[in-house]
Amino acid sequence: MTVMDAALRESLKTLRLSGMLETLDACLAQAHGGELGHLDFLQVLCQDEITRRETVAFQRRLQRAKFEQQVTLEDSTSRSPRTCPPPRSATSAPCDGSTGESVILFGPSASARRITQALGHLAVRQGAHVRFAKTSRILADLAGGHADRTWEQRIRELVRPDVLILDDFAMRQLSAAQADDLYELVSERQGRSLIITSNRAPSDWYPLFPNPVVAESLLDRLINTSHQVIMNRPSYRPNKRPRNTADKAH
């Protein structure tokens, strides 16, 4: 190692350019061998640092999304019998949150959860900040905010992501407080993307709200600004069931 090489290494450490450090030896070997000119050498080092930073940022966003499954659209479009390809209308809808459009997937299929997480993964890859959560947990979290006076802080955390995924929406009858919290959440996220899964069609959501005025205001706003996808495909969940001895015998 030359004095200049050592000095360059120390400079990169000082600047915290670890991406450049990781490939410095290979780049220096190419440069000494005449394979890289000065500008090429600098460009390769810069690109390595950019790649490292993008990878770190992606992993950070992926961790914050809190997906239950790490599944991609490539996995969902696989022809394996263990997967169920997503509807074309779901994959063609905007996913990065930049347009503020939303997607509702409904039907008696556990594949909806898998596909929404695949859409969320795509949004993360496109640079969006995503949050995945079951609707019941969101409502429980907001209820806790009423109790300890941190409601404003908690709802800001839900408004902040570019894409919020609400799983198992409209599963059961809502209390008046839960309906009000949902109304506030959807209102505060106006212009920001939502991805929703539900076992019920949107037209069946209205009776779950104790106050018809709140239901009308919230659901009309939500439904009329969303891409709606009917999940009429076989469920993914049966493919996860272990086969018993009798099944294997046949």
pLDDT at 53: 86
pLDDT at 4: 57
Mean pLDDT by 10 residues, the chain (250 residues): 68 76 77 77 81 90 90 62 43 56 78 85 92 95 96 96 94 94 93 90 92 91 84 50 43
State phi, psi for 197 to the nearest 5 degrees: -115, 145
pLDDT at 216: 92
Distance, CA of 226 to CA of 235 (rounded, Å): 23
pLDDT at 226: 86
pLDDT at 95: 55
pLDDT at 32: 74
Domain locations in the chain as residue ranges: 3-65, 73-237
Which one, of 133, 130, 62, lies nearest residue 98 by Cα? 130
CB atoms within 10 A of CB 30: 15
pLDDT at 124: 93
Distance, CA of 117 to CA of 72 (rounded, Å): 8
pLDDT at 83: 40
On whether the 73-237 domain is CATH 3.40.50.300, my answer is yes
Residue type, 169: F
pLDDT at 129: 94
CB neighbour list of residue 179: distance below 8 Å, 6 or more residues apart: 209, 210, 211, 214, 215, 218
Which one, of 137, 146, 201, lies nearest residue 164 by Cα? 137
Which one, of 229, 24, 11, lies nearest residue 111 by Cα? 229
Tell me if residue 167 falls in helix, strand or coil.
strand
Q: Are strands 163-167 and 193-198 parallel, antiparallel or unpaired?
A: parallel
